[in-house]
Amino acid sequence: MENLFNLSVTVNGTLYEREVEPRLLLSDFLRHDLGLTGTHVGCEHGVCGACTILFDNEPARSCLIFAVMAHGHEVTTVEGLGTIDSLHPLQEAFKEAHGLQCGFCTPGFLTTLVAFLKENPDPSEEEIREAISGNLCRCTGYQHIMEAVKLAAEKTKINT
Amino acid sequence: MKPPPFEYYAPTTVEEALSHLAEHGYDAKPLAGGQSLIPMMNFRLAQPSVLVDLNNIPELAYIRPDENGGALVGAMTRHKIVGHDPLIAKQVPLVHEAIPNIGTPQVRTRGTFGGSLSHADPSAELVAISVALKGRFKLRSQKGERWIPANEFFTGPFTSALEPEELLVEINLPRLPERSGWSLMEVVRRHNDFALIGVAAVVKLDKNGICEEARLVFLSAGDRPMEAHQAAELLKGQSPTAEAIQAAAEKAASADIDPGGDIHATAEFRRHLANVLSRRALDDAFKRAKGN
């Protein structure tokens, strides 16, 4: 290997320093180098949305970012949203409203929607559809995901 | 690893980026948002041996007013920022309206204005719109800078007037004159997908309601943004009646564009759509022109 880059990146609040090849995709860096396998890799060309992470709090496709581009930045993966014992309110809502079946696409939906609900806490049905238009789900037919988002928005409203 | 190996540079100034481009010439490729280049590299359709990452150059990301009421957009300004910018919304509403049609929400947080234009995809919204608005692009190299009109920038499929050592650094989006109207229409199978065909229309009326200028620029209708010159000639000097619009739309769809056929649509179907969309877009644009 030649041309290694000293990468320093904060993932889920922890600073990591690693030597990486510039061609390493951020998705592969998260999964293989850091062992954070919650970020799923589907199409690897920016269509399916499964690998969506938060890059400086903005949803982005980690298969369309080289790991070196995250140098000095903050990345949040699905592991950074909640824990098994203390789920993120959106994760709770997905569980309650049956917003997932096989779960492959779920991390991408969650990261996308956490950012969306922060910007738009009381979204219309159309806005939710637009928000998830870059994420493919092959099981749910999206209806339960829509329900989960509405439920999460409602719960947040009640709690604030 | 999917992409082929490359040397990576992360300059923090434009000067530094230009020196890397000058040194490596054809082997180097600037990396903007990466939303088109990285998928092409994942497929190994693109195999640049040097990447010059522009993401650490803050001087390339801005939106400012120009002297004539239009906007100057730094090449590394991300689509989402453009979409939310009040100056763009007010002075260049056609661009404001087009942003939600570009890629997906996750693409718009990374993809950049200048990156999309440099990629010169004939199916890209900004490519067609920049021509319809008579935008101008500032290109810089170590030798100096030059301005080029949008319609001379796009020279073929994914091909532009950029020399290998040049960088697109700024885009000038002029404000439309008084009594102008605009519209953007697309047919897309799934929201956020590439358009089967689309058209951006910009028109201007004189004080008597006669069409002074009309530009119809199509996306996904040829090897570059396709400007309907013959249709524009038909409209010039005419009152924009339903008949005049219909005639122009038919001319545009039959004579001005060169759509291809593929698994998504035949060329004939694309011409049919071009006709319908042109009529609607012109209708819409002339209505706005009357209100302005």
The whole-angstrom distance between B191's CA and the closest CA on chain A is 7
Q: Can you tell me which residue has the tokens 């640049």?
A: B48
The answer to whether B193 contacts chain A (CB < 8 Å) is no
pLDDT in tens, B113-132: 999 999 999 999 999 999 99
Q: Over 70: is that where the pLDDT of A1 sits?
A: no
Q: Which chain A residues are Cβ-neighbours of B4 within 8 angstroms?
A: 23
Say what the pLDDT of residue A160 is.
Answer: 64
Q: Can you tell me which residue has the tokens 């060309």?
A: A45
Rg (CA), chain B: 19
Entry pTM: 0.96
Q: Do B35 and A23 touch (CB under 8 A)?
A: no
Say what the pLDDT of residue A3 is.
Answer: 82
Architecture of domain B61-173: 2-Layer Sandwich (3.30)
The full DSSP string for chain A is: --S-EEEEEEETTEEEEEEE-TT-BHHHIIIIIS--TTS--SSSSSSS-TTEEEETTEEEEGGGSBGGGGTT-EEE-GGGT--SSS--HHHHHHHHTT--SS-SSHHHHHHHHHHHHHH-SS--HHHHHHHTTT---SSS-SHHHHHHHHHHHHHHHHH-
Hey, what are B133's tokens? 């608005």
Q: How far is CA B287 from CA B30, B137, B198, B223, B237, in A?
A: 41, 30, 19, 31, 17
Mean pLDDT in residue range B60-74: 97
Residue A57 CB neighbours (<10 A): 13
What is the residue-averaged pLDDT of chain A? Answer: 95
Mean pLDDT in residue range A116-121: 96
Cα end-to-end distance, chain B, whole Å: 54
Say what the pLDDT of residue A56 is.
Answer: 98
The whole-angstrom distance between B51's CA and the closest CA on chain A is 9
The full DSSP string for B144-193 is: EEEEEEHHHHEEETTEES--TT-EEEEEEEPPPPTTEEEEEEEE-SSTTS
* A→B interface, C-beta within 8 Å: 2-3, 5, 21-25, 28, 44-46, 49, 52, 55, 58-61, 63-66, 68-69, 71, 112, 116, 129-131, 133-134
Q: Do B110 and A65 touch (CB under 8 A)?
A: yes
Q: Which residues of B67-106 are buried (b: 16+ CB within 10 A; e: fewer)?
A: eeebbbbbbbbbbbbbbebebbeebbebbbbbbbbbbbbb
Whether the CB-CB separation of B214 and B203 falls below 8 Å is answered with yes
In chain B, % of residues over pLDDT 90: 97
The whole-angstrom distance between A37's CA and the closest CA on chain B is 17
Distance CA B260, CA B270 (A): 8
CATH topology of domain A5-80: Ubiquitin-like (UB roll) (3.10.20)
Mean pLDDT in residue range A113-139: 96
The answer to whether B47 contacts chain A (CB < 8 Å) is no
Q: Which chain A residues are Cβ-neighbours of B2 within 8 angstroms?
A: 25, 44
3-state secondary structure of B280: helix
Q: Of B199, B206, B200, whose CA–CA distance to B180 is shortest?
A: B206
Q: Over 70: is that where the pLDDT of B88 sits?
A: yes
CATH code for the structural domain at B180-291: 3.30.390.50
Distance CA A52, CA B108 (A): 13
Q: Of B214, B274, B255, B257, whose CA–CA distance to B238 is shortest?
A: B214
Distance CA B8, CA A3 (A): 8
Residue A117 CB neighbours (<10 A): 20
Q: Structural domain boundaries of chain B? A: 61-173, 180-291
Q: Which chain B residues are Cβ-neighbours of A45 within 8 angstroms?
A: 39, 42-43
pLDDT in tens, B4-22: 999 999 999 999 999 999 9
> Which residue from B minimizes the CA distance to A60?
B106
Q: Do B3 and A49 touch (CB under 8 A)?
A: no
3-state secondary structure of B46: coil
Among A6, A7, A20, A23, pick the best mutation site for testing chain B contact (most B Cβ within 10 A).
A23
Name the pLDDT band for B273 (thresholds 50, 70, 90). very high
pLDDT in tens, A6-61: 999 999 999 999 999 999 999 999 999 999 999 999 999 999 999 999 999 999 99
CATH code for the structural domain at A89-159: 1.10.150.120
pLDDT in tens, A55-88: 999 999 999 999 999 999 999 999 999 999 999 9
Say what the pLDDT of residue A2 is.
Answer: 60
Phi-psi region of B264 (alpha: psi -120 to 50; beta: other; left: phi over 0): alpha
Q: How far is CA B68 from CA A13, A136, B171, in A?
A: 46, 44, 14
How large is the ipTM?
Answer: 0.95
Q: Can you tell me which residue has the tokens 């993966």?
A: A77
Q: Tell me how far apart the 2 most distant CA atoms of chain B are, in Å.
A: 64
The sign of the CA dihedral A150, A156, A157, A158 is positive
pLDDT in tens, B50-59: 999 999 999 9
Q: Tell me how far apart the 2 most distant CA atoms of chain A are, in Å.
A: 55
Say what the pLDDT of residue B98 is.
Answer: 97
3-state secondary structure of B217: strand
Whether the CB-CB separation of A48 and A135 falls below 8 Å is answered with yes
Among A2, A20, A119, A133, pick the best mutation site for testing chain B contact (most B Cβ within 10 A).
A133
Q: Structural domain boundaries of chain A? A: 5-80, 89-159
Q: Do B2 and A22 touch (CB under 8 A)?
A: no
The three-state DSSP-derived secondary structure of B126-146 is: HHHHHHHCCCEEEEEECCEEE
Q: Which chain B residues are Cβ-neighbours of A66 within 8 angstroms?
A: 3, 8, 31, 34, 38
Amino acid (1-letter code) at residue B145? E
Q: Which chain A residues are Cβ-neighbours of B1 within 8 angstroms?
A: 21, 23-25, 28
pLDDT in tens, A48-61: 999 999 999 999 99
Hey, what are A31's tokens? 């999964």
Beta strand B180-187 with B167-173 is unpaired
Name the pLDDT band for A157 (thresholds 50, 70, 90). confident
